[in-house]
Amino acid sequence: MFALRDKRYIKAISGLVASHSQRYSSMVFVNISPRVALVDEKVSITVSGLRPQQPVTVKVWVEEGKAVFSSCGHFLANQQGQVNAAQHASLGGTYRGVDRMGLIWSMKPVPGISKNPLLRKRDVTTPLVLKLSVIDGHVPLDDLHVDSTVVLATDELERWYKHRTVRRIVVREGSLRGALFFPAGEGPFPGVVDMIGITGGLAEFRAALMASRGFVCFALAYLGYDDLPTAVTDIDFDYFLNAVNWLASHPDVQPGGIGVVGNCKGGELAFLLGMSTDKVKVLVNLSGIPMYSLADLQKSGQCFWKGFKLNERKIIPGDEGVTLKNSFSYDNEIIPAWANNAKILYLCGENDDVWRTDFAHTFVETCPEEKRKNIELIIYPGAGHEIEPPYTPLMTSFVSKTLGMTIAMGGQPEAHAAAQEDAWKRLLHFLHKHLPQKHHTTSRL
């Protein structure tokens, strides 16, 4: 929860926006289209009723749990008194240049207010609500709360991970824990298991969005949730094999095999599943090393795969947190994810501060030549570690309870935003292309 003074601060800003917008709403209008959209959809943001060449600041503000993010762009109205974010350049603020979604992806944690460096939706049955304000003049982001700020117009934008027609059920099937999402329409549909990294808990945002694009998607929790293990050392690989078998045999899933999507630790586990079962036909690894990390992996009480360890003497401290990528030995066996001929999409950021992504090239080089045609590797220049759905703000750091430290993620905001947009299109196309399916479903809200 926010401290009382933080709530008063946010309330004061909201009151200021309301009082000024009442004074100017009859003159200046902001239009967002569509006002209700999935998070991977682009929106149009326009302002009208301004003076020709009037300088204005367009600000975005969003609160989600302990995360409070904001952004702004500085614009000059054209001769018709209009600003169009898709056509007019931002001259300053949190991004520069012409970018239709720049006000969304350039959001960053509000200093002294946000208690979380990651903007992530935990309850996907509700939207992210973004509040837009049009402010007279070019005002720096840090000064947008001062009393002299003149707010000309306001509006709101809802960004959803789950389409309103997608059905969600909680999974407690034997030892399995998670949430299952079903697209609208008559199945069966292609099936996908989705896993996040060592943040733990149950993360449903990507699974809900994939279901909104036509997949039965199982958001699989495996660490720090419900009665599941709380330590990486206690993970058992049989749990993941059971999840694949369960989803592959589900009556609403198209027979013939499923896909597995994982980021970070989830990507490592996805590769191990590709090696271990022919029920996995498609693998998508988002920034996971092609080895196993931090601890040995157990299976039925025995060591199944050796994990490489952290050398604390090689950790590099920095402003955003510690850089880990040079503190691992990387001397373990490459996971032969190609063993059962799964199609593999491997997406990494070149500026990842967690892993050395050059080992993605080692993964391809290690693969037998006749199977390399099954691998598509993309390493994005300027992108960091956490490759999320498009228009999600860059995650610069992460507080790891598992390691007990704040970890730098790396990446440059503009390059990372471009990488996320491309990666999401590739991911959906790859799954639709290679998974057995009855039909495609791509819906708008």
220: exposed, middle or buried (C-beta count within 10 Å: 0-12, 13-18, 19+)?
buried
In the prediction, which pLDDT does 332 show? Answer: 87
Same-domain check for residues 148 and 249: no
Instruction: Looking at the structure, tell me whether residues 177 and 151 fall in a common domain.
Output: no
How confident is the model at residue 55, as a pLDDT?
A: 98
If pLDDT is split at 50, 70 and 90, which confidence band does 15 have? very low
The answer to whether the Cα torsion of 240, 214, 126, 426 is positive or negative is positive
Q: Cis link prior to 52 (omega < 30° from 0)?
A: no
443 in a structural domain = no
Residues 137 and 172 placed together within one structural domain of the fold: no
Distance between start and end Cα atoms, the chain: 31
- Domain end (from 113, 140, 160): 160
* CA 233 to chain CA centroid, nearest Å: 26
Domain assignment present for 414:
yes
In a domain, 445, yes or no: no
25 class by beta-carbon count within 10 Å (0-12 exposed, 13-18 middle, 19+ buried): middle
Q: Are residues 415 and 391 in the same domain?
A: yes
Torsion angle of the four alpha carbons 289, 338, 208, 161, in this order, in degrees rounded to the nearest 10:
50
Residue 380 neighbours by CB under 8 Å, 6+ apart: 347, 348, 349, 350, 387, 415, 416, 418, 419, 422, 423
Question: Using one digit for the tens of pLDDT, what is the confidence trace for 157-173?
Answer: 999 999 999 999 999 99
Q: Which two tokens stand for residue 108?
A: 């960053």
Same domain, 156 and 177: no
Q: What is the mean pLDDT of residues 218-246?
A: 96
Would you say residue 221 has pLDDT above 90?
A: yes
- The 10 Å Cβ neighbour count of residue 443 is 15
Given the structure tokens 């720049």, which residue do they identify?
A: 102
Q: Residue range 326-333: average pLDDT?
A: 86
Domain finish residue from 160, 195, 210:
160
Mean pLDDT score of the chain, rounded to an integer?
91
pLDDT of residue 272: 98
According to DSSP, the β-strands at 55-64 and 67-76 are antiparallel
Domain annotation covers residue 104: yes
Whether the pTM exceeds 0.75: the reply is: yes
Query: Same structural domain for residues 131 and 251?
Result: no
pLDDT score, position 403: 76
CB crowding 374-405: b at 16 or more within 10 Å, else e:
bbebebbebbbbbbbbbbbbbbbbbebebbeb
Give the CATH number, domain containing residue 69.
2.60.40.2240
Task: Give the model confidence (pLDDT) of 395-415 as tens digits.
Answer: 999 888 777 888 999 999 999
Where a domain ends, among 120, 139, 160? 160
- In the predicted model, is pLDDT for residue 103 greater than 90? yes
pLDDT of 14 above 50: no
Cα separation of 374 and 100, whole Å?
35
Residues 180 and 201 in one domain: yes
Q: Is residue 440 part of a domain?
A: no
Chain-centroid distance, C-alpha 307: 26
What's residue 153's pLDDT?
96
Q: Which of 199, 198, 200, 265 shows the shortest CA–CA distance to 226?
A: 200
Q: Which residues of 66-90 are buried (b: 16+ CB within 10 A; e: fewer)?
A: ebbbbbbbbbebeeebbbbbeebbb
Q: Are residues 286 and 418 in the same domain?
A: yes
Average pLDDT over residues 36-55: 97
Shared domain for 128 and 192, answered yes or no, is: no
Please state, in angstroms and rounded to a whole number, the distance separating the CA atoms of residues 111 and 172.
Answer: 39
Residue 444 forms part of a structural domain: no
pLDDT tens-digit profile of 262-278? 999 999 999 999 999 99
23, pLDDT greater than 70? no
Q: Are residues 225 and 95 in the same domain?
A: no
Nearest to 436 by CA among 192, 217, 263: 192
15 exposure class (CB count in 10 Å sphere: 0-12, 13-18, 19+): exposed
Q: Looking at residue 112, what is its pLDDT?
A: 87
Chain segment 331-390, per-residue pLDDT in tens = 889 999 999 999 999 999 999 999 999 899 999 999 999 999 999 999 999 999 999 999
Print the domain residue range for 59: 4-160
Question: Looking at the 3D structure of the chain, how many domains does it have?
Answer: 2
The predicted structure's pLDDT at residue 439: 53
Residue 302 lies in a domain: yes
Q: Are residues 178 and 144 in the same domain?
A: no
Confidence bin at 22 (pLDDT 50/70/90): very low
CATH number at residue 291: 3.40.50.1820
**Pair (178, 38) in one structural domain:** no
Q: Is 283 part of any domain?
A: yes
Q: Is the peptide bond before 368 cis (omega within 30 degrees of 0)?
A: no
**147 confidence band (pLDDT: 50, 70, 90):** low
Give yes or no for residue 312 having a pLDDT over 60.
yes
Q: Decide if 216 contacts 192 (C-beta within 8 A).
A: yes
